[in-house]
Amino acid sequence: MRIVQILLFLIASGAAFFFAWKKFSEIRNNIMRGKDVEFDAADGGTRMKNMLMIAFGQKKMFKNWIPAILHLFIYVAFLFTQIELLEIFIDGITGSHRAIWYMIEGTPLRWIYILVINSIEILSVLAFVATLAFLSRRNLLKVPRFVKSEMNGWPKLDGNIILYLEIILLIGVFCMNVGDQALHLKHTGETYPFLLSGAFAHLFDGLGTGFLTVMERFGWWLHILTVFAFLNYLPYSKHLHIMLAFPNTYFASLKPKGEMTNMPEITKEIKLMMDPNAPMEEPPAEEEASKFGAKDVEDLPWPSLLGAYTCTECGRCTAACPANQTDKKLSPRAIVMAVRDRMEDKAKNEKEHGKDYDDGKSLFDYITKKEINACTTCNACVEECPVSINPLSYILELRRYKIMEEADSTEEWNLMFTNTENNGAVWQFNPADRAKWAAEMEAEEG
């Protein structure tokens, strides 16, 4: 029986890791479609601090305390459960039972083990409460940011599936621990020093050894198979942020939020325009013509594509967006989700038709001109994102392409561009009048 369990475990774990590796590799390839970006090694300390504070420390979550505390219960329970998962893997591979416990039982390390298991059980109860609360927020209270149009269909189902899986994981943990405790109580007259499962074990003391063994094994297999299912479900789910939040916060831009990324080619042209006597430099003959903005995912830097896969779909960006609040078409969350959808569709097309297949589409088949033009560039979405995604960066690059590559802009913006070129300001008046106004203002202040 022991050999059979080991073989089943090795087959299940091997299959789970193989299929997960395939999908995670596809996601990595999708992210690396983006343009390369150079990073300054001197910024490593700042980036590491951001990652620890924002991804690991959940810093930005605590702008809203109630969901932040509930999320913390699930997050910390997830981290601690990985320690017990390590023991489950050892038991699965070796066919042993509580291998780590019996390895350190007579040493001072046993107190660390006891503390960890008790913490896991307490946190699991808190995570169960938080899971029920989140299910209620999504399906009963219907918090506005969870019922926007982009959340219809799969995104809504995905948000619920992950919570159901969380409940199944918790059921597995307690069936395993309580069954094990009840068996230990029946054989030795005492329980392991784990408070919650030990207390519940006395309720099952009158049941037969066979039932308790099945209960413990059921919990053990339920937990590990759900972990394997979760591992393979993760790359299809918004909960991929559990892994990608760390690199995304590390590689996030360190520039001030209001600072837009200038294009060197444009900066050079403006300098030449402002100084007609500046020497003209002919570009090398082999140099490829500059492309302004982004038409498809390959035109975006790879950290932006990483951000699209990191999106938690929490909707804080959309809830804070002034354009969305005034019923404009724009939803920053929908923009990020569309970039991710485009990468997934391109990967699917390449699987079916080959790497060089062109479906004739671009990001503008997923994101409309009305959406990108509604943005006020206020950076509210950037400020709100709990995992440092920058929805504004996608919008600006798409705008740049529309305006500079296709000359497709609104009438109001074209007037602003003309005024800036002719008058040095967005308003339509004589430059001399502007200079006179500036002088009068200086005189008043003086």
pLDDT of residue 289: 61
Mean pLDDT, range 277-289, rounded to an integer: 63
Q: Is the pLDDT of residue 429 over 80?
A: no
pLDDT of residue 286: 58
Q: Where in the chain is the domain with CATH 1.10.1060?
A: 264-276+290-431
pLDDT of residue 288: 61
pLDDT of residue 140: 94
40: phi then psi, degrees, rounded to nearest 5: -80, 120
Q: Is the pLDDT of residue 61 over 80?
A: yes
pLDDT of residue 260: 80
- pLDDT grade, residue 431 (50/70/90)? low
Q: Where in the chain is the domain with CATH 1.20.950?
A: 2-31+64-251
The larger pLDDT score, comparing residue 303 to residue 424, is at 303
Name residue 250's amino acid: Y
Q: Is the pLDDT of residue 401 over 90?
A: yes
CATH of 264-276+290-431, one of 1.10.8, 1.10.1060, 1.10.10, 3.10.450: 1.10.1060
pLDDT of residue 281: 65
- pLDDT grade, residue 241 (50/70/90)? very high
Mean pLDDT, range 29-48, rounded to an integer: 95
Q: Which has the minimum average pLDDT: 77-86, 95-104, 427-436?
A: 427-436
Q: Is the pLDDT of residue 79 over 70?
A: yes
The larger pLDDT score, comparing residue 331 to residue 258, is at 331
pLDDT of residue 295: 96
- pLDDT grade, residue 321 (50/70/90)? very high
pLDDT of residue 433: 73
Q: Which has the minimum average pLDDT: 79-93, 239-253, 422-436?
A: 422-436
Q: Is the pLDDT of residue 274 over 80?
A: no
- CATH number at 2-31+64-251: 1.20.950
- pLDDT grade, residue 263 (50/70/90)? confident
- pLDDT grade, residue 422 (50/70/90)? confident
pLDDT of residue 258: 81
Residues above pLDDT 70, as percent of the chain: 96
The larger pLDDT score, comparing residue 83 to residue 314, is at 314
Residue 187: exposure state from Cβ atoms within 10 A (0-12, 13-18, ≥19) = exposed
pLDDT tens digit sequence for 409-419? 988 888 888 88
Note whether 175 and 215 are within 8 A (CB).
yes
Note whether 114 and 250 are within 8 A (CB).
no
pLDDT tens digit sequence for 90-122? 999 998 888 898 889 889 999 999 999 999 999
Question: Which stretches of 32-153 are DSSP H helices?
Answer: 44-50, 65-94, 99-104, 110-139
- C-alpha distance from residue 49 to each of 284, 312, 324, 426 (Å): 42, 21, 32, 40
- pLDDT grade, residue 133 (50/70/90)? very high
Mean pLDDT, range 335-361, rounded to an integer: 94
In sequence order, which residues have a C-beta less than 8 Å from that of residue 172 and are 6 or more positions away? 219, 220, 221, 222, 223, 224, 226
The secondary structure of 127-167 as a DSSP string is HHHHHHHHHHHHHTS--GGGSSGGGTTHHHHHHHHHHHHHH
The token pair at 326 is 């005034």
Q: Is the pLDDT of residue 89 over 80?
A: yes
385: phi then psi, degrees, rounded to nearest 5: -60, 125
Mean pLDDT, range 235-260, rounded to an integer: 93
Name residue 361's amino acid: K
Q: Is the pLDDT of residue 200 over 80?
A: yes
Note whether 382 and 392 are within 8 A (CB).
yes
Instruction: Tell the residue number behind the tokens 């074209």, with chain if given.
Output: 414
Q: Which has the minimum average pLDDT: 60-69, 145-154, 162-171, 334-343?
A: 60-69
Most confident of the ranges 146-150, 265-269, 332-336: 332-336
Cα separation of 270 and 143, whole Å? Answer: 47
Cα separation of 292 and 266, whole Å? Answer: 9
Name residue 330's amino acid: L
pLDDT of residue 218: 95
